Amino acid sequence: METLDPMVNPFTLTKDMSVTPNQFPFPSGTSASSSSSEDHFLEIRNVYVALGDRVVLQDLNLSIRAGEHVAILGPNGCGKSTLIRTMNCELYPLIPPSGDLSQPTQPAPHISIFGRNRWDLTELRKRFGIVSDSLAGAVSNRAPDSAGSTAAKTTGRDAVLAGFFSASTLWPNLHVTDEMRERADEALARIHATKLAGQRIGEMSAGEKRRIQIARALVHRPRQLLLDEPSNALDLAAQRNLRESMRTLMRDGVGLILVTHHLADIPPEIDRVLLMKQGRIIADGPRAELLTGPVLSELFQTEVRIGMDDVWLHSW
Ligand SMILES: Nc1ncnc2c1ncn2[C@@H]1O[C@H](COP(=O)(O)OP(=O)(O)OP(=O)(O)O)[C@@H](O)[C@H]1O
């Protein structure tokens, strides 16, 4: 495995380097033209991403086919969630400064999703689902704020229906069609959560909320699903249910991109693994090569032992 040099930021971070959301993803003239086809979920080249005044993703180059399954692992703070947020177009790549001869020349960043580098975000949200506590809104497992307390009265079905509008709850002005209702019920059934349809979010356990989050992410019947630490806060039975739900979705042709700290979360169908460290992807390869004790011991800087039960890995 590659040994990391201290983090090097080739860009000087200035306000001018960030782009505003209505320019997503690149201001004209700064990106490569759209090059990949619909067969690709994601193409990222030469991407750096900052949070506040820190560059937290460095020199990302990544290609993921539509329907492909990928697991992403790495130590706390290495940038996994930031990568997911970048894929979800919540965050934008830094643009290299132009005309500054004191800076080394950097190739322009490129991100394309499903073969396009320009998207109406509302349309894009219909193309893939995401399950992440940072986006969960009504179904967040975090303590509710005042808006959240309204959302807590939302039923499971309404929280799923609100997913059609990327809304935290089903506000009265939102127009719900019969087709949307059918799709919401279909999404709930797909992850065996039909019995939660009438239950209030505020009265659900963390595991039940997680299922509602997944159903929300499925309402558009996405080809790709991004799951950021989906087993957090789940008890043993809920973890098993989650694993079974993931396998069912994969069998149905949904590609999973899974961020996790738990090897036991990674279904055997996920063969491709990305390892991240200090904001970089330091390895990208088959699970048999990367999910090993020596590789993970180096990555996490502690002794990691790996066992196998049937087709499932576990670590301690
Ligand atoms: N608002 C912010 N401003 C500056 N730095 C931030 C901000 N939010 C997060 N970071 C930093 O960005 C880095 C990447 O965070 P990120 O949440 O992507 O890591 P992660 O790999 O998902 O971590 P974890 O495994 O703990 O969930 C961390 O070092 C974090 O401290």
pTM of the model: 0.83
74 alpha carbon to ligand 1 midpoint, in Å? 12
* Vertex 214: Cα angle to 212 and 89 (nearest 5): 125
And the tokens for 290?
A: 């990367």
Nearest-atom number in ligand 1 for the CA of 259 is 22
Residue nearest to atom 10 of ligand 1 (CA): 51
Complex ipTM tops 0.95: yes
Nearest-atom number in ligand 1 for the CA of 276 is 21
78 alpha carbon to ligand 1 midpoint, in Å? 7
Q: What pLDDT shows up at residue 121?
A: 84
Taking the chain (316 residues) in runs of 10, the rounded mean pLDDT of each run is: 34 35 34 54 94 92 96 97 92 72 72 89 86 64 52 87 86 92 93 92 87 90 92 83 88 94 94 97 96 96 93 89
And the tokens for 69?
A: 């399954």
d(C-alpha 41, C-alpha 52), whole Å: 28
Pocket of ligand 1 (CB under 6 A): 51-52, 54, 56, 74, 76-82
Mutation to probe ligand 1, out of 82, 142, 278, 281 (largest number of atoms < 8 A from CB)? 82
Q: Which residues contact 171 (CB under 8 A, 6 or more apart)?
A: 162
* CATH numbers and ranges of domains, the chain: 128-221 (3.40.50.300)
d(C-alpha 17, C-alpha 141), whole Å: 34
d(C-alpha 118, C-alpha 102), whole Å: 31
177 alpha carbon to ligand 1 midpoint, in Å? 39
d(C-alpha 164, C-alpha 126), whole Å: 8
226 alpha carbon to ligand 1 midpoint, in Å? 18
d(C-alpha 50, C-alpha 18), whole Å: 8
266 alpha carbon to ligand 1 midpoint, in Å? 22
**Residue type, position 80, single letter:** K
Q: Which residues contact 298 (CB under 8 A, 6 or more apart)?
A: 1
d(C-alpha 75, C-alpha 56), whole Å: 13
Report cis status (omega within 30 of 0) of the bond before 25. yes
Indicate the burial class of 247 (C-beta count within 10 angstroms; 0-12, 13-18, 19 or more).
middle
Residue nearest to atom 29 of ligand 1 (CA): 77
90 alpha carbon to ligand 1 midpoint, in Å? 14
